[in-house]
């Protein structure tokens, strides 16, 4: 009888450890998904911690030179700090199901909410990707660069993944998007954040303040500018 | 700055510039034609769709931009009068540029075409400057690129 109780006890302890381990690993998976902005139902929400630009302010992209090969085997070097417009980096792969919608949209006549934005598709290098499959998917009018090095440099966590970089090589926003609508939302949010005075330099903040004051009817020399708000009238 | 190296052609791409070297290698195509090796460099974002001598790209240049193309001709061209010049052109001079040298004449721009042979390979170097008037100021950037150009 005692032996049975002991065996039962051991089994209960083992089951408790097993259940505890499963709960812990499940919690870890949920935590990792949450960090990537994916909810439990599999949707990726714009504005989540993951799609929110990672940086607290503008930060320089890890590299401003994208070097790789094209589908014809030529070598290509592209710049992110060319001083003209923005660049949308679309990290896609030929095998990911979520990428299918982006391959399709990028092949059509698409319009991005951020003006003057060039889209560059980045895949892993020829050793990690299928050039023939990419040849079927690749939009004719967009540059496609294959490079393991670029992926490593940008530490791409998943596909599809996007970065919006301005003409000086500063990252305006980045994140994953599960649908075309999510991507457009991410771009709108990144553009809005970029326009925030929090992300401006001193000159930008000065101009922003001037504009706000002028729109409120306060012009240079206005007496209210020289009043001490703490002084009793 | 990055380095492009393909089909025996190597060049340093200055910071902020873009470039590409095709994998042509004068390989024989199914239609019997040979695929030339073409190098393009630009101080501005290069469009995907562009001609061998920059059509589609030069239209996007501002007056401080530079476009450079190196086009390889087939072995039949080696030894002909047009390619008699030996060696990679370097240290280009402002007087060598002319508005009439442009493949696609655009207002304000200036161009240069130089045919040469190097190590038994025949090439045309084509350079477009965004401003003919400012060509002397733009040339040092062109010559810096040419200094780094190597052909095997």
pLDDT tens per residue across span A25-53: 766 665 555 545 454 544 444 334 344 34
Q: Where are the alpha helices (DSSP H) in chain A?
A: 2-35, 100-107, 131-137, 148-154, 180-195, 202-215
- pLDDT over 70 for what percent of chain A? 78
For A64, the closest chain B residue by CA position comes to B16
Within 8 A of B6 by CB-CB distance, chain A residues are 74-75
pLDDT of residue B131: 96
A140–B19: do the CB atoms touch at under 8 Å?
Answer: no
Chain A residues within 8 A of B1 when measuring between CB atoms? 65
Nearest to A74 among B20, B44, B46 (CB): B20
Mean pLDDT of A104-115: 92
CB contact under 8 A, A65 and B19: no
B residues 19..78 contacting A (CB < 8 A): 19-23, 44-46, 48-49
Partners of B2 on chain A (C-beta within 8 Å) are: 65, 67, 77
Task: Tell me which of B3, B42, B48 to substitute to probe the interface with A (most A C-beta atoms closer than 10 Å).
Answer: B48
Which portions of chain B are predicted below pLDDT 50? none
Counting every residue, how long is chain A?
Answer: 233
How many other C-beta atoms can be found within 10 angstroms of the C-beta atom of residue A71?
15
Tell me which CATH code domain A59-199 carries.
Answer: 3.40.30.10
Residue pLDDT, tens place only, B100-121: 999 888 999 999 999 999 999 9
pLDDT band at residue A107 under the 50/70/90 scheme? very high
Look at the block and give the residue holding tokens 């030179």. A65
B117: enclosing H helix or E strand? strand B110-118
The tokens describing A55, both together, are 């940086």
Q: What is the mean pLDDT of chain A?
A: 82
What are the domain boundaries of chain B? 2-151
Rounded to the nearest angstrom, the minimum Cα separation between B14 and chain A is: 10
Topology of domain B2-151 in CATH is: Jelly Rolls (2.60.120)
- Does residue A111 surpass a pLDDT of 70? yes
Distance CA A169, CA A164 (A): 9
Before B54, cis peptide (omega within 30)? no
Using pLDDT thresholds of 50, 70 and 90, give the confidence band for residue A55: very low
Task: Tell whether the model's pLDDT for residue A106 goes beyond 80.
Answer: yes
Query: Using only C-alpha atoms, what is the Rg of chain A?
Result: 25
* Cβ contact A141–B48 (<8 Å): yes
The whole-number pLDDT of residue B91 equals 94
Q: How far away is chain B from the Cα of A143, in angstroms, using its nearest Cα?
A: 6
Percentage of chain B lying above the pLDDT 70 cut: 95
Calpha distance A113→A183 (Å, rounded): 10
Tell if the CB–CB gap between B23 and A65 is shorter than 8 Å.
Answer: no
Report percent pLDDT > 90 for chain A: 52
């Amino acid at each position: 009888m005692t032996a049975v109780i002991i065996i039962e006890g051991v089994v209960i302890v083992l089951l408790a450890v097993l259940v505890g381990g499963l709960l812990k690993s499940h919690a870890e998976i949920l935590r990792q998904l949450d960090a990537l902005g994916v909810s439990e139902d599999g949707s990726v929400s714009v504005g989540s911690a993951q799609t929110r630009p990672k940086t607290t302010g503008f930060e320089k992209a890890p590299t401003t030179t994208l070097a790789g090969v094209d589908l014809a085997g030529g070598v290509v070097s592209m710049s992110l700090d060319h001083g003209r417009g923005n660049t949308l980096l679309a990290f896609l792969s030929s095998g990911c199901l979520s990428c299918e919608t982006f391959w399709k949209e990028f092949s059509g006549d698409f319009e991005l909410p951020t003006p003057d934005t060039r889209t560059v598709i980045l895949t892993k290098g020829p050793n990690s990707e299928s050039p023939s499959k990419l040849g079927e998917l690749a939009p004719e009018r967009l540059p496609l660069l294959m490079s393991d090095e670029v992926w490593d440099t940008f530490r791409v966590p998943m596909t599809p993944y996007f970065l919006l970089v301005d003409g000086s090589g500063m990252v305006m926003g980045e994140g994953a998007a599960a649908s075309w609508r999510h991507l457009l939302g991410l771009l709108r949010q990144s553009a809005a954040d970029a326009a925030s005075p929090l992300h401006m330099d001193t000159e930008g903040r000065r101009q922003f303040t001037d504009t706000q004051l002028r729109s409120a009817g306060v012009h240079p020399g206005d007496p209210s500018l020289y009043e001490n708000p703490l002084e009793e009238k | 700055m990055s380095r492009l190296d393909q089909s025996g052609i190597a060049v340093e791409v200055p910071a902020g510039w873009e470039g590409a070297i095709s994998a042509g290698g004068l390989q024989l195509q199914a239609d019997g034609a040979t695929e030339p090796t073409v190098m393009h460099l630009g101080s501005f974002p290069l469009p995907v769709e562009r001609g061998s001598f920059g059509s589609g790209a030069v239209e996007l240049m501002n007056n401080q931009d530079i476009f450079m193309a190196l086009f390889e001709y087939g072995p039949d061209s080696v030894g002909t009068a047009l390619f008699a010049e030996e060696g990679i052109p370097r240290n280009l001079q402002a007087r060598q540029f002319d508005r009439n040298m442009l493949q696609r004449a655009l207002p304000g721009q200036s161009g240069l075409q130089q045919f040469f042979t190097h190590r038994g390979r025949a090439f045309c170097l084509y350079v477009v400057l965004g401003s003919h008037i400012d060509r002397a100021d733009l040339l040092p950037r062109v010559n810096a690129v040419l200094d780094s150009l190597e052909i095997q």
